[in-house]
Amino acid sequence: MRSSLPLAGLVLSLLALPGCNSDPAADNAKAPPRAEATDDNGADAMASRDPAPGTAATVTTADPQPRPVMQAQVVLERLGFGPGVVDGKLGISFTNALKGFQESRDLAVTGELDPATRGALVQWDNVPATRLVTIPKSWGKVAFTAIPEGAAAQAKLTQMGYETMAEKLAERFHTTPEVLAQLNLGGLPAGAAGGEAPSSPPAQATPGAARVPQLLPGQQLRVPNVGADRIDAAMVENREWLQTLRSLGVGTGQPDVARILVDETEGWLKAYDAKGRLAAMFTVTTGSQNDPLPIGDWAVKGVAYNPPFAFDPKLFWDVPDSAEPQRLPPGPNSPVGVVWIDLTKEHYGIHGTPSPDTIGRAQSHGCVRLTNWDAARLAQMVSGSTKVVFRR
């Protein structure tokens, strides 16, 4: 994790900005310092427990389905090639993750799980696609509040937090409430005695929507086996940011990157280390016809953790100018998610999102948008010397 990364150039006053129209305040953005890694995992009680290389995973209740795509997704994510939402499905984010892995291993870049790629991934075949977790009892104290429509109503909130426990769990395991429902049909983990047959379709609460089971503290669930969540708490000075990393299941052991390349046409972000090696790759959303991505060479100025959001309707083409400016509180459901990576291109940044399933599909207001967990991971890779290139 990078040390002494200033929020250089970010003013403290909440002036609304063009581009993404946000000005994260700097009072909560002090960068975590370098520290010697410890052996203790400061993640939550649901942290991953990967088997040692060449050994079988300890599984108490086996998953009745093999889920080969989800297994590849959780492995690729561990290696720094984010598949976006972990859902066991083929799609643009999974294709990009495969391309990143293939490039890093000098394989033919096909974007397919071809024989050569399967052979390169075989050493991680002992990492299961899913695992069982127990919802911590402390989650019973978490307040879940519906996010109202409209900036004026949202500005009255103290935090733009999670609306439901299902949403919080989905972000923790880099997936969606619908995938959790499919892995826990009838409210029981797939493979558990008394659960519905694994081939059963998801129960429907309303047409077209999977019914998410009631979730309670102490309940056991099957979840995607996302990893890379080891946290060295000594490396994180900002306590709120530490809690965010735990909430997202994002570890502190991230590589240092010297250059970021964002391709508007391809819809991906690549991060390279000082030797020019590809260290990470994520699918992103980049601009729109009304707010195009600013093509050119830029650099990272600083990082704001859990930033507030300055909403100025005059700077949004799709919002009436008659609306009033508002200051929206921070939180995972903020328009910029949990983190803002500020760039030397004034008013533009790289940030998270409250809608992870739209990454690579929906458009943004000019900035580069990632899932909250990918944005939190990238924020720990950059420094004030990281160069950023936007191209199309």
Helix (H) or strand (E) holding 242: helix 239-248
Helix (H) or strand (E) holding 222: strand 220-224
What is the CB neighbour count within 10 angstroms for residue 163?
A: 15
CA gap 296, 241 in Å, rounded? 31
Residues 139, 243: contact at Cβ < 8 Å?
A: no
Give the pLDDT score at 10.
36
Residues 130, 183: contact at Cβ < 8 Å?
A: yes
Give the pLDDT score at 369.
94
CA gap 183, 190 in Å, rounded? 6
Residue whose entry in the numeric block shows the structure tokens 């998610």: 337
CA gap 222, 237 in Å, rounded? 33
Helix (H) or strand (E) holding 201: none
CA gap 385, 340 in Å, rounded? 17
Question: 356 Cβ partners below 8 Å, 6+ apart?
Answer: 84, 85, 171, 174, 176, 371, 372, 373
Give the pLDDT score at 102.
98
What is the CB neighbour count within 10 angstroms for residue 344?
A: 15
Give the pLDDT score at 314.
63
Q: List per-residue pLDDT tens for the chain, 392 residues long.
A: 333 343 433 332 233 344 465 555 444 444 454 444 445 678 899 999 888 888 988 888 899 999 999 999 999 999 999 999 999 999 999 999 999 999 999 999 999 999 999 999 999 999 999 999 999 999 999 999 999 998 889 999 999 999 999 999 999 999 999 999 999 998 889 877 654 434 333 333 344 445 777 899 999 999 999 999 999 999 999 999 999 999 999 999 999 999 999 999 999 999 999 999 999 999 999 866 667 889 999 999 999 999 998 876 665 545 556 667 778 999 999 999 999 999 999 889 999 999 999 886 655 455 899 999 999 999 999 999 999 999 98
Determine the 3-state secondary structure of 167 from DSSP. helix
**Which amino acid, one-letter code, is at 4?**
S
First CA to last CA distance, the chain = 30
Q: What is the pTM of this model?
A: 0.86
Nearest-Å Rg of the Cα atoms of the chain is 20
Give 257-274 as a DSSP string: -SEEEEETTTTEEEEE-T
Buried/exposed 42-75: b ≥16 CB within 10 Å, e otherwise: bbbebbbebeeeeeeeeeeeebeeebebbbbbbb
CA gap 232, 229 in Å, rounded? 10
Give the pLDDT score at 192.
76
CA gap 72, 70 in Å, rounded? 5
- Count, residues in the chain: 392
Residue whose entry in the numeric block shows the structure tokens 């942290």: 47
CA gap 270, 259 in Å, rounded? 8
